[in-house]
Amino acid sequence: MSADNAVETLSWSGCAVTGHLVMIDQTLLPSEVRYLECRDVSTVWEAIKMLRVRGAPAIGIAAAYGFVIGLQSTNHEDEGEYYRVAQQTAEYLASSRPTAVNLFWALNRMQQLCHSLRGELELTEITQKLLEEAQTIHQEDREMCRSIGQFGAKLLGEDVHGVLTHCNAGGLATAEYGTALSVFFTAQDMGKELHVFVDETRPLLQGARLTAWELMQRGIQATLICDSMAAQVMKEGRVHAVVTGADRIAANGDSANKIGTYSVAVLARAHGIPFYVAAPSSTFDLSLESGDQIPIEERQPEEITHGFGRQTAPDGIEVYNPAFDVTPADYIDAIITEKGIIQPVTFENINHILQVL
């Protein structure tokens, strides 16, 4: 599966004032590929909250389009109402999930453009400009993913054959090639054969349902393992590198990603295996000094006690269900961005790379 025939995670249909967002409902994969039409902002909010769209870059793109949808219901002759709805829409979409920084980054970008055009254009023209901005964010992500893959593939030398990844950081989490999976897809494009070990990624199995599916679509050799099997697979010498994505990266390089990533990083360090994070520059939150300040979403206990509709735990059991954990920068051998490779991961190197044009 090349980029030309890849499944399109997100797309826009129609014009700015009456069009709508179309996305794959990822909760139904891998057994069913169904597209969800988002014609109002509440549907976009629900899709982000319920992981119908997921992955930090894809969430940001969806939010940008959602901002446009929120403005469609306004009176385009009443400037005061238009800007009240713009603020309400941004706040509403921002409440959907707290950890993925791309959500807030995209909404801030849309709001800034919206306010910069106030009084300069007719309101219908502003909505059109906002749609164009959302489409620009979408296209920029495609280009960023390709660039991440080109930089990251260089880290997979001749001695790297077996790699491991956690959760899903592929095309389903972004606009096209993904972040972590872009490294593997680009290596494949260059003629390199990889064997990817895919953590199931409990409790919602993004690795089993999504990453395994994407890799099989590409014809890349993939082996699915339970999260708790990673140590044994590493001990057997099957894994030569680990590549994951990230949902938010602090100024010092501490990286939040799907729960279980920190465990993988600790195991990689124990076995002398390089651990790489692949993420676009928009995933960095330089306002946070360290990962201790990254908000961690806690999700409903039913995801554990009644996974996929079947009860697997006794009634009344106490549950702790954080959706993310934070891997300290000391455990990360390099962060792969669209602007270059940050190695070693330090505050100074992060700032240097992020300033590269």
Q: Please identify every residue annotated as catalytic.
A: 247
- Residue given tokens 């990822």 in the structure block: 26
Which amino acid does the sequence have at 342?
Answer: I
Residues 6+ apart with CB under 8 A from 313: 304, 305, 306, 319
- Tokens in use for 287? 């306002």
135 neighbors 163 (Cβ within 8 angstroms): no
Please give the Cα distance from 186 to 121 (Å, whole number).
42
Residue ranges of alpha helices (H) inside the chain are 41-49, 56-72, 79-94, 101-116, 123-153, 180-189, 206, 212-218, 230-235, 261-270, 302-305, 347-354
Q: Which residue has the tokens 């960023």?
A: 144
